[in-house]
Structure 1
Amino acid sequence: MMCVTRQKWPRYLTIILIILCVFFVNIFVKGNIKNEALEQESFLKQRQDRHGHSNSFFIVADNLHTPENAVDQAKGVHEEECRYVYLDLGSNKGVQIRKLFEPALYPGAEILPYFDKIFGNVDHRRKYACAFGFEANPRHFSRLKYIENAYRRKGFRVTFYNNAVSNEQNKNVTIYSETNFDLDWGAGILDVAIHDKENMTRYEVPTVDIVKFINKEIKPLNPKAVFVKMDIEGSEYTVLPHMVKNKVLCKNVLSSMVVEMHGWAKKQMKSKLDLKTLRQMMRKQMCAPTEIVPVDDESYKDDVEVDPDA
């Protein structure tokens, strides 16, 4: 028996060694997997810590071109990043938003002291201001997208939409535009301001209910101040009463506002609204009314030659 055992001992030893090898290899592999998982978790956490605040707006901004989804998008924007909001209704070539972020290029522009007062100095607003611009004329949109992308690369929070500001949501309307691009300042839902009516261009553009946008996109940001510029070529005669009716022309919603009333559009819009009447209507909202700022800055209409991406 002892002889047999001695003969089989090397075989048993081999089996034992194999079992031990398998056991230790298993422990080693599990340890590596665990370490890799911990390293991955640490990496993701560091990445979130580095980028969670600075890039979150841009994740949202890439989807902001469908305003009806604004409520979900707004949840992804940190309040800290949009302490202030500039709402540019009727952006045209985007000059006003450029004045907000690059004021040194526009010396003497009347709006600049108001930007300083509401948003702080240029460094402060570049860090904490978010700008949303609406322009109905598709001819301007390639330029506006260029500005948007250039500014995002610099860290400025800017988004433009090709929508007609309205009291209705997602309704296609006809936008009338000059054939001569250099004269294309009065594009809108009316052809009154178009000089060359025989050759004017027509576009079908979706509307955005600006009250819905404010309630679902701006309010959730809980900004300290919201400054609005409205220059929408006659549509103000339907949009402003809609805003009053829904109580958004309140100081706790929209702090202050510049509005241009286009008298030439009154007859066609069948409206008697003017700034005096508007102020009377605003007082009936049962809130402190939005401040109407007495400035109409249309300087630098053709913009400066400095590239936004410079």
Structure 2
Amino acid sequence: MIQNGRALRQEHVPSELVHRDGEIDALTAALGGGRSNLFEDVIVTGPSGAGKTSTTRYVLRKLEEARLDVETGFVDCIGANSSTGALAGLVRASDRSAPLDPRANARTVLIERLREMDKEFVAVLDEADVLEDKQIIQALYSVPNVTTALVCVNYDDLLINCDTRIQKRIRTFRHVEFDSYGDDQLADILSKRAEVGLLPGSIDEETIWYIADKAAGDARLAIAILRRAAKQCFDLRDEEIMIDVVDDVADAARNEIASRYIEKLSTHQRILYEVVREEGPIQAGDLYAEYRKRATDPKADRTLRSYLNSMQREGLVEKEGGGRYTEYDLV
């Protein structure tokens, strides 16, 4: 049944993206791939599973294929949410990651390494809203040969945790907004994946539409369901994915997405998550207090709220109430 397992993985960026032509054109124009060859800082927003990350990676790949004077770097800020960690990830991507002098200011050295490049560097910060220190945005802006792309779910959530100077800077960025996929669009995406990843006749149109409906606009979930359904059929030596198989694997696919997110959590994010897991439902004040008991050099409440908002969007935790009566629990 499976002829190309890579095509069934969430992180796989296909050679052709469907239903994102406008977003691709806008990103390409901003990141030096348009007719003007000019570079423009950009912020990419939209709901989880709307294709923001895949589309951005696709545009980066096309940009590097088309231009020899451009390098790109991509950092997932969930796992590298400090300024130094994010900068180190970008420098590694630029292949300029020689050991740092322990006596030097790491952030300053990393910025200088980007400044010394003889090419334009496109720096992508995915999940930028969970950065604990947004000063990296200003630092990157100060480097003439660096163009910054911020990827996050909500524009306002990113701004609210920035100081006034950085808010003003971000408001000058070109804004590329993604909407959730419709069922027909998800069905097209799944059909393309199945065409490359599965043998002909392995899944019919009705089942593809059923998966699209189950995923409710989330391409990550749709692809995870397809992959798990294909694997179950392969293991059982079935020749076709049927609707009952989709029902069997849907919950496991959701858990897989959640688990992948949990694996990337930083130390402080993980402590926060573990408190909710062990103590939930728990009021926000009690949650923060317990977090501070366990954490070394604990983060500010504003940063913790940003972490929790991100976990809520990813379906790890749920929130009820508001203000002093806000309560968190596992989904």
Give yes or no for TM over 0.5: no
Q: Which has the higher helix share?
A: 2
Specify the structure having the higher radius of gyration (Cα): 1
With normalisation by structure 1, the TM-score equals 0.29
With normalisation by structure 2, the TM-score equals 0.27
